[in-house]
Chain A
Amino acid sequence: MSMDFGEVAPVTAAAPRPVEVIEAPMGDVVLKVEDLTVRFPSDEGPVKAVQNLSYEARLGRTLAIVGESGSGKSVSSMTVLGLHNRARTFISGSVMLDGEEIVGASEATLRRLRSAKVAMVFQDPQSSLHPFYKVGSQIAEAYLAHHRVSRAVARKRAVEMLDLVGIPNPDRRAKQYPHEFSGGMRQRAMIALGLVNDPMLLIADEPTTALDVTVQAQILDLIGDLQKEFGSAVILITHDLAVVAEVSDDILVMYAGRAVERGLTKDVLSRPNHPYTWGLLQSLPSASEDADSLRAIRGAPPSLVHLPTGCSFHPRCDFQDLVGDACISQLPELRSVGPGRLIRCHLATPDETLNPEAALIDHQLIDHQEISS
């Protein structure tokens, strides 16, 4: 069978790529969040969206912030851009972006930093682009906000960006409106918009949740390629652990507004040390393996107004009885369980408790890594 593609655009690499176990370098810290707390007022009382959150983002690395609805993952990243309504939001703690403090910063400072040092790609590209303006001019607007150039130069830059993100016929597309783009193209345009000023940090909030799976793969590839090319730091906010596994270097798991586990992605997802992370992994049906039933986490995520006492996860935790009353009465602090590895849990020996079979196959894993690296 001849592989003659004729006039159909040759499309894919059908052959599998070699296994890449390239560890991303430890770049400089561009974002340092320390003890961040965010609260919103509501009729029932203050909503404790984020509490005492600390993490870092480094150049050249992708940090995945994982959590379900109400975990506080989106709220914390909106804080980095200063997008909360100051009149109604209580924010305390520190968010240092490239050495500048964001919490309490003036509007002028925030405007200077937005899009230039940190940019955000939002979840729904359909609603995030203005329906009445052409795509090219929306991208040019971001460029003009930070560079004193003519409109023509800005428009040219917009076309360059559309080309960079893989949109064919970029000059024609720049003159079109968002509704004339397909879903995947819109998200690419959002990424172009985010990167137009070459920011050092790109925050992608559920960038592929609204997209089909084949388009999702394209977009994730694109973000990864652009990161390698420009060396920026990427924060990926998602609830999809499989995406996290494939795409990120570091992971931060959030539950009910707090960080519950932090570390290298490959460590945390292969050997979770927190019952919530462990529970999430157990409950995933995988396209890769068969299982009779899924081990679900009982109960539901708590209300952020009326949080459980002590550890917020204790009502749903399968291991609470191993520890006893401490889980109900005392909020566990973040503690280190290894180099770069933190958990918020009272379990004395989390690794052994949650990963009993891990010890058995440890040696097999080590073999594989030696072969492939």
Chain B
Amino acid sequence: MAISVLLVALVATFLLFFAGPADPAQSMCGELRCSQQKLEDIRHSMRLDRPVQEQFAEYFKGLFVGRDIIQSGSIKECSAPCLGYSFRSQREVKGAILDRFPTTATLALMAMVVFLTVGVSTGVLAARRRGTSLDRFVVGFTQVFGAIPYYIVALLFALYLTVLNPVFPRSANISAGVGPWLVGLIAPAIVLGLVYSTGYVRYTRSAMVDTLAQDYVRTARSKGISENRAVYKHALRAAISPVVTILGLDMAGLLSGTLITEQIFSVDGVGRLTIQSLFQDDLPIIMGAVLMSAFLVVTMNLLVDIAYSFVDPRVRLT
């Protein structure tokens, strides 16, 4: 099932780029006015003169075994998984993406820490105090905050907290040292985390409202255990399941690169690379990024399923 999703994504992306109306070679060229020789070069190396199926087979083969790219007469080897070659930046797509991946991944993980702690604890608090003004405030606030377009929130945060009043340090490239690089990721991680947390507040709250009313929580209380234990060990434990699913999907998205955040905060991650490639019509990189994203979604879904069977013992014996 997962394989078929990947295959469909692969074929669709490929067709979009290589069988579409735009001339891929022209876009890949990178210069405004491409010399005929260069265009021929590209076409030949990307085998654009061959039928579509062959092109696809070539690409497919490249993913698993590796293939050869012809560039300006010389043959370069593109090892598996070969995601293509960017003529514009003169390097393999795979390398370009992998260079940036650690930054994106770290940002994603830091954001996850923020939205999980803030989101879940606020959700639990609101559920416990359901109906009170605190609860209503939390629900109202998350709705309003979640309704504001993300780029506005990110821009405002970046502007007021990193540029005008440098409360948070600016982002730095890893070449400047691990320390500054990490510290530079704090601001985007916080913004990302806070905005994502609105969803988690809502999911956790509604799942908790449901589980707190369940019979097994009543049983737990009747044992004479503390209220906190009943809330966390019993109610929250059961409410976690829907949160796990959403977490998986969110992480897939975050790991694929957050385009707006990275752009606004000048973080050199996969997202920024993707945006740059979009502006530059660097097709191979765009394709590579899309494929990676599809792969991440499928993988995260699989991980979520596995996590589910640990969370809910009934799932193992369906």
Q: Do chains A and B touch in the complex (CB under 8 A)?
A: yes
In contact, A141 and B223 (Cβ under 8 angstroms): yes
Contact assessment for A177 and B314 in the assembled complex, using a CB-CB cutoff below 8 Å: yes
Q: How far is the CA of A122 from the CA of B238 in the complex (A)?
A: 20
Contact A83–B224 (Cβ < 8 Å)? no
> For B216, B219, B226, B238, which residue has the most chain A Cβ atoms within 10 angstroms?
B219
Answer yes or no: B89 CB below 8 A from chain A CBs.
no
Chain A residues within 8 Å of B53, by CB: none
Which of A127-135, A211-219, A265-273 participates in binding chain B? A127-135
Whole-angstrom CA separation of A269 from B256 in the bound complex: 73
Q: Check B220 against A130 for contact (C-beta < 8 Å).
A: yes
Residue pair B313, A131 in contact (C-beta under 8 Å) = yes
Q: A124, A129, A132, A145: which contacts B313 (Cβ < 8 A)?
A: A132
Contact of A142 among B218, B223, B226, B312 (CB under 8 A): B223
Is B214 interfacial (CB 8 A cutoff)?
Answer: yes
**Interchain CB contact under 8 A, B224 and A129:** no
Q: Considering the chains assembled together, what is the distance between the CA atoms of A113 and B225 in angstroms?
A: 11
Asked if A127 and B214 sit within 8 Å, CB to CB, the answer is yes
| Chain B residues, Cβ within 8 Å of A119 | 222
| Contact, CB under 8 Å: A83 / B218 | yes
A114, B219: Cβ atoms closer than 8 Å:
no
Contacting B224 at CB < 8 Å: which of A116, A131, A177?
A116
Is B311 part of the contact surface with A, judged by Cβ < 8 Å? yes
Q: How far is the CA of A127 from the CA of B225 in the complex (A)?
A: 19
Q: Given B226, B314, B317, which contacts A131 in the complex, CB threshold below 8 Å?
A: B314
Q: 1/0 contact trace for B219-249 toward A, CB 8 Å?
A: 1111111110000001001100000000000
A115 touches B313 (CB 8 A): no
Is A66 among interface residues, defined by CB-CB distance under 8 A?
no
Residues of B188-228 at the interface with A, using a CB-CB cut-off of 8 Å, are 214-216, 218-227
- Closest beta carbon of chain A to B139's beta carbon, Å: 18
A179 within 8 A of B: yes
Question: Quick check: A83 and B237 within 8 Å, CB to CB?
Answer: no
- Taking the complex as formed, is A43 at the interface, i.e. its CB lies under 8 A from any CB of chain B? no
B224 near A145 (CB under 8 angstroms)? yes
A133–B312 Cα gap in the complex (Å)? 9
Does A306 belong to the interface (CB within 8 Å)? no
Q: Does A107 contact B (CB under 8 A)?
A: yes
A335 within 8 A of B: no
Residue of B nearest to A190 (CB): B219
Instruction: Given A115-B223, A119-B222, A130-B237, output 13 extra A-B contacts at Cβ < 8 Å.
Output: A107-B227, A111-B226, A115-B224, A124-B215, A127-B216, A129-B219, A131-B313, A132-B313, A133-B237, A141-B225, A145-B224, A177-B314, A179-B313
Offer 8 A-B interface pairs, CB within 8 angstroms, sorted by A: A111-B224, A114-B222, A120-B222, A127-B214, A127-B216, A128-B215, A131-B238, A146-B224
A-B interface, 5 closest residue pairs, ranked by CB to CB distance from nearest: A114-B224, A142-B223, A127-B215, A130-B216, A128-B215
